[in-house]
Amino acid sequence: MRYLPIDKQFFMSNRKNFCKHLQPGSIAIFNSNDILPTNADGSMPFRQNSDLFYLSGIDQEESILILFPDHPDEKMREILFLRETNEEIAIWEGHKYTKSEARETSGIENILWLSQFGATFNALMAEADHVYLNSNEHTRRPLTEVETRDSRFTSWCLQRYPLHHYHRAAPILYSLRMIKNEIEISIMQKACDITEGGFRRILPFLKPGIHEYEIEAELIHEFINNRSKGFAYAPIIATGFNACVLHYIENKDVCRDGDILLLDIGAEYANYNADLTRSIPVNGRYSKRQKEVYNAVLRVQREAFKMLRPGNVIPEYHREIGKIMEAELLQLGLLDRTDVKNQDPDKPAYKKYFMHGTSHHLGLDVHDVGSMYRKFEEGMLFTVEPGIYIREENLGIRIENDVVIGKDNIHDLMKNIPVETEEIEDLMNR
């Protein structure tokens, strides 16, 4: 892997914490993601299943993890199945995990080849009463006809072993993954630091006449040059009116004099993700109006920082941010008192200019798993990304940092990334 090795104690601890939540006599099974096809004999880059990676550190296709914490035979309590390699696979695809490498990565002693799975699993199921199966239960998961390896395995398992008691692994894992430990935070800090390098590279590069895709090329160079696989998500590099399209990813237009360029970008590192947004002037100087809107968004972000404290909860947090944004929009002349007085409580007036949420969980997935109704706790990691989008002015401003909730304050993983207008202007014109 490009990234530096992760201490196997991290994955061993994750498995131990997961198994604490299982009923007696339980077995849990986790499958890697598929390598998905494109056309002809092409395929997409491999991206490991986040839950399997969280529990094992194994970053390879066709892998299966079995956990059976109270099996009578100690060596059967953790089993990792890997694709057996050979000389031809090595020639065409390159190196695959050896058993010793998999042990060193995961801390799992019992490594078997995938060809041994059927017989081994059948013997284990004879001893199990409860079966925990994995699934994607993210509230924003896309509706798709493509089956994952986990979903195919679920169908097979239910058909072959219909009399066991089945349970969902996702609620346990989602609860655990919401709280980041020191190792995860250090990995995400690395992803944020790589992202910072890309942003600083762009500031002196940007000028009128540059295409959005040229900026994308500069960023991917910086990311890959620092052990990243690349972008954590499809980058949004949006100039002028494009900045008012929340998920604009074409990145094809020319950056014009007088426009703002909205950069929503992040590097991945070791499967963890950064998520940064900055809005910078194409010509190196904010206009008076652009600076007014920018500073309004920055004030909202700083107020949001204050609310990210243990005990708060996302719905209430977003309601309070809405009130702060409403006051800023009134000050900017985008709303008036009549708009506020006559607004539908379910569709507040500020939503015309700020139509998305302020924060989401971040981690192994960019929109990381977790319940929006769980109270904030120390160790939760969120984005903070207010924005104002004025379509009639071809002006979109969003500012986003990634922060960890602490006991009494937040730890901003992007505190070193320029955000004040004066600092950005200075770096662009140096």
User: Taking 90 as the threshold, does the pLDDT of residue 139 lie above it?
Assistant: no
pLDDT at position 6: 98
pLDDT at position 161: 98
Q: What is the mean pLDDT of residues 243-267?
A: 98
Would you place residue 58 in the very low, low, confident or very high pLDDT band (cuts 50, 70, 90)? Answer: very high
pLDDT at position 244: 98
User: Taking 80 as the threshold, does the pLDDT of residue 144 lie above it?
Assistant: no
pLDDT at position 117: 98
pLDDT at position 418: 98
Structure confidence by residue, pLDDT tens digits, 288-299:
999 999 999 999
Summary mean pLDDT of the chain: 96
Structure confidence by residue, pLDDT tens digits, 379-423:
999 999 999 999 999 999 999 999 999 999 999 999 999 999 999
pLDDT at position 368: 97
Q: What is the mean pLDDT of residues 143-149?
A: 85
pLDDT at position 324: 98
Structure confidence by residue, pLDDT tens digits, 295-338:
999 999 999 999 999 999 999 999 999 999 999 999 999 999 99
pLDDT at position 373: 94
Would you place residue 141 in the very low, low, confident or very high pLDDT band (cuts 50, 70, 90)? Answer: confident
pLDDT at position 85: 85
Q: What is the mean pLDDT of residues 9-32?
A: 98
User: Taking 90 as the threshold, does the pLDDT of residue 33 lie above it?
Assistant: yes
Would you place residue 340 in the very low, low, confident or very high pLDDT band (cuts 50, 70, 90)? Answer: very high
pLDDT at position 89: 85
Domains of the chain: 8-177 (3.40.350.10), 182-429 (3.90.230.10)
pLDDT at position 88: 87
Structure confidence by residue, pLDDT tens digits, 345-388:
889 999 999 999 999 999 999 999 999 999 999 999 999 999 99
pLDDT at position 87: 84
Give percent above pLDDT 90 in the chain.
Answer: 93
User: Taking 80 as the threshold, does the pLDDT of residue 143 lie above it?
Assistant: no
pLDDT at position 86: 83
* Residue whose entry in the numeric block shows the structure tokens 């080849």: 113
pLDDT at position 287: 98
Give residue 424's identity as a one-letter amino acid code.
I
